[in-house]
Structure 1
Amino acid sequence: MAEAAGERGENRLEADAFTRRGETPVRISPRQGGIDFATLIGLFGAFALILGAILLEGKSTAFINIPFVNLPAIMLVVFGTFAVTMVSYSVQEVFQAQPIMLRTLFRSGQSPNDAAMRMLQLAERARRRGILQLQSELYGLRPEPFLHRSMTMLVDGIAVEEIERNLTFETHAMMQRHVRSAGILRRAAEVAPAMGLIGTLVGLVQMLGSLNDPESIGPAMAVALLTTLYGALLANVVFLPLASKLERNSATELLINQIYILGSTSIGRQENPRRLELVLNTILPASQRVKYFD
């Protein structure tokens, strides 16, 4: 009791001191647990899809006569994979990863060799005309946001150490986002065959339960076989190749960012561009090394 009263007295004295200085004390509210909607949506969604596949029993295929197309199987594997993957991640992480995944469908025109040549051009112009003259180059660098930010910081006179630190932190954050997105794709590749196996078991149970009705054996067998096919296709044709492509693109983007960081710090220190060329060639692959200066 005495200790609690003493603590309340100290807190009151601190609050009075802040009031006299015209300041408001910083207060941290107690940490409160919240509902993880991704887990709830994923679990309920997966079980609802499995239950729906059980109840439909192939009846939804009455108006679909296309071979290898079965609506319950598609819903169970595709939406079930998405639902179970959401259990492993938060809703925000899943939706933030979508733009990064979509970028794997489009080939980037930038290569490490092009980035190194552009960096050497900027270094030579800064050496010849001065760093402040790079301001006229900023508009043309907008297609490359990372390079544009680095050159903007140089023109603004920010210290080289601070520029290097900021760009390095940004690169690390980018890599974490890419690693998380690749992890989501690989997790989906693990889940898709499992959902296909669940669909196969559902179809087999339906088939064995209706052996006395020959007309229902075919739709049940279709669900049993097609879910396995859909799961294998999603995992090995879609998710795993996309994950590998994302990791490859991420490695290339990391190399390009390292080139921009080395070039920005070299320009900021007013080093000879020939030295920058030697440094860049140490991190470039042998087939993409540059020869800017004869």
Structure 2
Amino acid sequence: MSRPSKSSIQIINSTSIGVVITAALVAFILFGSNAGAGSYWDPGSLVIVLGGTVAAAFLSFRSSQLASIGRSLFAIFHEEPPLGREVDVLEQVAMALQKHQLPQAEKIANGVNNPFLRLGLQLVIDRVSIEDVHHLLSWRIQKMVERETAEAKLFRTMAEFAPAFGMLGTLVGLVAMLGELGGGNLSAIGEGMALALITTVYGVVLANLIFRPIAIKLEQRTAQRVAKLNMLLEGISLLALGRGPTMVREAMNSFMRDYRDEIHG
């Protein structure tokens, strides 16, 4: 029996909670300290740190990789649902193939939204050998891993750049401060010292509260997607071997139980 359909995307509570805690921490720093919120705002420092980090990212990565930033930011708040719907489809196709109802199997395959599963089902229906099915779908998984690893690496690299440009801003501020020591301009000296310190703050915050957490979340998402695609690959392989719907259903349920046990202990 087909399970009720669920939304294809769900909010990850941990990310939402993390954003709220981060906002609370920033608010405490800005308004809970004696210095006041205005003391932590310096456009010049922000330009040095954020502008330098973005410039270094453009120099380090290809345009196609940089274009995926928006998609990556969207992805950290969402995850794909469990494989319940896909297991139903595998069972239905297995039943159609067992009854030699190829048109029905093709109709089910064409209605699948998951491109990985749709391709695998079509290969099985076309009677492609299981070796070729495994080879092609494994290649698809590998390409996905390479693409998503590059997205995570982009944010990890930016997390390394941000503190470095914070240090650059510190040096710039110190140079400006030292240049004013001989003239005794206390106001200019204070501005140089503020620039030196604020850029370091900006670099640390951007690296450890924005870029690095995004990279970690993307890496976790990729690991989860690989595990699910491998489970689908096993289910498609069972179809290619001519296994019946009952065995396909039980095998997939077993795979999902083992996956949950490995993840949650």
Deviations 1:123-159 (A, max 9, x none): 34443564442222234312x1211222222333433
Aligned runs of 1:40-79 on 2, under 5 Å? 66-79=38-51
Deviation for aligned residue 1:117: 4.8
Cα distance in 2 between the residues matched to 1:285 and 1:209: 67
Q: Flag structure 1 segments of 5+ consecutive residues without an equivalent.
A: 1-64, 290-294
Q: Is the 1:81–1:195 contact (alpha carbons within 8 Å) kept by the matching residues of 2?
A: yes
- The structure 2 residue matched to 1:244, chosen from 216, 221, 225, is 216
TM-score normalized by the length of structure 2: 0.73
Q: Which has the larger radius of gyration?
A: 1
Q: Which runs of 5+ in 2 are unaligned?
A: 1-36
CA RMSD of aligned residues (A): 2.7
Shift of 1:167: 0.7
Give the alignment partner of residue 233 of structure 1, picking from 176, 182, 205: 205
Cα 1:191–1:272 shift into 2, 3 Å: same
Give 1:3's aligned residue. none
* Native 8 Å contact 1:197 1:227 kept in 2: yes
| Secondary structure, counterpart of 2:80 in structure 1 | coil
Alignment partners' CA distance in 2, 1:114 and 1:220: 60
> Paired residues, what number?
223
Q: Distance in 2 between matches of 1:116 and 1:288?
A: 16
What's 2:135 paired with?
165
Question: In the alignment, does 2:160 pair up with 1:215?
Answer: no
Q: Could you state the TM-score of these two structures normalised by the residue count of structure 1?
A: 0.66
Question: Cα gap change, 1:116/1:226 in structure 2, threshold over 3 Å: closer, same or farther?
Answer: farther
Shift of 1:96: 5.0
1:196-215 equivalent positions in 2, closer than 5 A: 196-211=166-181, 212-215=184-187
Name the aligned partner's letter for residue 154 of structure 2. Answer: I
Tell me the distance in 1 between the aligned counterparts of 2:89 and 2:107.
Answer: 15
Q: Encode CA deviations 1:181-220: one digit per residue, 9 max, x unaligned.
A: 2222212111111111111121122122223112223322
State the Cα distance separating 1:262 from its structure 2 match: 1.3
Mapping of residues 1-294 of structure 1, within 5 Å: 66-87=38-59, 89-92=60-63, 94-95=65-66, 97-98=68-69, 101-112=72-83, 115-128=86-99, 130-142=101-113, 144-211=114-181, 212-281=184-253, 283-286=255-258, 288=260
CA distance in 2, matches of 1:260, 1:99: 28
Change (3 A) 1:105 1:287: closer
